[in-house]
Amino acid sequence: MTRMNLVQAIQSGLRDSMRGDDDVLVMGEDVGRLGGVFRVTQGLREEFGDERVLDTPLSETGILGTAIGMALYGLRPVPEIQFADFIYPGFDQLVSEAAKYRYRTAGDFHVPMVVRTPYGGGIRGGQYHSQSPESLFIHQAGLKVVCPSNPYDAKGLLIEAIRDDDPVLFFEPKRVYRAVKMDVPDEPYSVPLSEAKVVRSGEQVTCVAWGAMLYEAFAAAEAVAQQGIDVEVIDLRTLWPVDIETIVASVQKTGRFVVAHEAPQTCGFGSELVTLVSERAFLHLEAPPRRVTGYDTPFPLTHERDYLPLAHRIAPALLETARY
């Protein structure tokens, strides 16, 4: 066991995967000599060489298109998109090509690739370095979407995603890259995709979050506990395929549901979760489901803390839902 932050855990997962399978390679802008803008891939080029840690041109379309070709020929590329905000030029490669190959070839071809990208606010990056586009990819059949909140899950989920035969979007909450530390096994291990985790048991309200917002949801739950409200907090971990069974079981117990995420509210993944819960646990609900989200505006620089659904915005929603 080694005490690691999120950056170190992801790096450890990449290193273990590359040591265990010569077909695994890393590619992206500045991932080699520089070690990535957040230094997640630092040291990998020195160990594995520049044929398995490739510095690419500044072309997201080229990075993702090349990775798809590699995957179709049996490699397991892990391309990095420097910020999730930069993924849009390569959007067509992901949704029209990577997501469709298994279906269009009746299972003859697979695209085993993992697209790593830091997402979300909290570092004063402004509108071009703070977006949360996860729902765009959840909407596309054929893609899996993962978002860890802590170092242990990050390493295990990444190893499992690299082993998966389908394309995976691996969103990394850069706000907590170095803010959270925990003991992480030095040896390879995996965390199953599509399994949520109850991180705080409660009886009165279910609150679902992922990534950096998990800590805000947990802090809000602790705050309202001082007023006698018992909140169950669930870390989604894998956004799609979603572990709706764990959420529904919690809602059947609590009768109330709140979801928190950084992305804008309209068509955010919280809307889908509210629908899934309403369809499966309608008769158990004792209050309308609530969404606590970013606003339907571009991500601001100056008013970043007002935009993000931090604990001070989640707590009132928990209180109002519990007292409805």
C-alpha 96/C-alpha 166 separation (Å) is 14
pLDDT greater than 90 at residue 217: yes
C-alpha 245/C-alpha 233 separation (Å) is 15
pLDDT greater than 90 at residue 125: no
Percentage of the chain modeled with pLDDT above 90: 96
Residue with tokens 């596309």: 140
C-alpha 209/C-alpha 250 separation (Å) is 14
Task: Place 140 in a pLDDT band, splitting at 50, 70 and 90.
Answer: very high
Helix axes 269-281, 244-254, angle to 10 degrees: 60
User: Once rounded to an integer, what is the mean pLDDT over residues 44-50?
Assistant: 96
User: Once rounded to an integer, what is the mean pLDDT over residues 23-42?
Assistant: 96
| 218: three-class secondary structure by DSSP | helix
**Predicted structure pTM score:** 0.95
User: Once rounded to an integer, what is the mean pLDDT over residues 35-50?
Assistant: 96
Q: Is 303 exposed, middle or buried (0-12, 13-18, 19+ CB in 10 A)?
A: exposed
Q: What is the mean pLDDT of the chain?
A: 96
Closest to 93 in 3D by CA, of 106, 82, 79: 79
pLDDT greater than 90 at residue 301: no
C-alpha 160/C-alpha 188 separation (Å) is 10
Task: Place 6 in a pLDDT band, splitting at 50, 70 and 90.
Answer: very high
201: which 2 tokens?
């048991």
Per residue in 250-286, pLDDT tens?
999 999 999 999 999 999 999 999 999 999 999 999 9
Task: Place 72 in a pLDDT band, splitting at 50, 70 and 90.
Answer: very high
Active site residues: 129
Helix boundaries (H) for 30-144: 44-48, 60-72, 91-92, 101-104, 134-138
308, 294 Cβ separation under 8 angstroms: yes
233, 209 Cβ separation under 8 angstroms: yes
User: Once rounded to an integer, what is the mean pLDDT over residues 94-117?
Assistant: 96
User: Once rounded to an integer, what is the mean pLDDT over residues 81-98?
Assistant: 96
CA 135 from centroid of its chain's CA atoms: 11
H helix or E strand, kind and range, residue 183:
strand 181-184
Closest to 33 in 3D by CA, of 54, 8, 51: 54
The amino acid present at 4, given as its one-letter code, is: M
| 121: three-class secondary structure by DSSP | coil
pLDDT greater than 90 at residue 124: no
Give the number of other Cβ atoms within 10 Å of residue 192's Cβ. Answer: 11
Higher pLDDT, 305 or 137: 137
pLDDT greater than 90 at residue 126: no
Which domains are delineated in the chain? 2-184 (3.40.50.970), 197-322 (3.40.50.920)
Percentage of the chain modeled with pLDDT above 70: 100
pLDDT greater than 90 at residue 127: no
DSSP secondary structure code for residue 42 in this structure: T
Question: What's the pLDDT score for residue 83?
Answer: 95
191, 157 Cβ separation under 8 angstroms: yes
